[in-house]
Amino acid sequence: MKAQLSKSWWFLFIKGLLFVLFGGMLTFYPRETPQKMIFLLGLIILLGGLIILGLSLLNKKDNKGWVGLMTFAVIDIALGLFIMVTPNLALKVVTFLIGLWALLVGIYQLYVYFSAGKENRKGSMGLYIGILAIIAGLFMVFNPVPATIFMTIIIGILSLIVGVMLVGTSFRVRKMAS
């Protein structure tokens, strides 16, 4: 196992470099990156829809559920085109939905916290998690663009840290081989 891991140290190194590049892109270009990522997401959804559409038409004779597949494909194609044509709007919608989800999670956390008896609340982080989730949710719902930029920078910094750690680990693994 040790020999196998030490032979593939360069996989960790390359993965680390990719994380560093990705993290740098997110951290230093936070305004442009989400729009490009959402555009790529739209492209992936569109291509997936086209593939499903083609498969449903090719298997029309053998598959009784081809109409359902075709419907799913048309929805994917429409969604992919919508995201690609209006990436800014799509990004705002995604951020809004994440904010709405965070708001609901925060409300639920507070409900669980206050529903528990006093003895069960001791040492619980539920109150703080609930309040933090509600604040983050409100920020994302009412300020989607700054929230997206902030989330992009945070993800970028975390990716940089992971990348540096992977590169360091790759050198340690390589050293173990010698």
For residue range 130-155, list pLDDT tens digits in order.
999 999 999 989 988 888 888 888 88
The count of residues in the chain is 178
DSSP assignment of 126-162? HHHHHHHHHHHHHHHHH-HHHHHHHHHHHHHHHHHHH
pLDDT single digits (tens) 15-46: 889 889 988 988 888 888 888 888 888 898 99
- Residue 57 pLDDT more than 70? yes
Please state the pTM of the whole predicted model. 0.63
Q: What percent of the chain has pLDDT over 90?
A: 28
pLDDT, residue 80, reads 92
- Residue 54 pLDDT more than 70? yes
* Contact assessment for residue 16 and residue 164, using Cβ atoms and an 8 Å cutoff: yes
The whole-angstrom separation of Cα 127 and Cα 77 is: 43
Q: What percent of the chain has pLDDT over 70?
A: 94
* Contact assessment for residue 144 and residue 95, using Cβ atoms and an 8 Å cutoff: yes
Confidence of residue 56 (pLDDT cuts 50, 70, 90): confident
What's the mean per-residue pLDDT of the chain? 85
Dihedral of the CA atoms 61, 65, 69, 70 (nearest 10)?
A: 60
- Residue 124 pLDDT more than 70? yes
The whole-angstrom separation of Cα 136 and Cα 100 is: 10
pLDDT, residue 36, reads 82
Instruction: Check residue 31 and report its DSSP letter.
Output: T
pLDDT, residue 104, reads 95
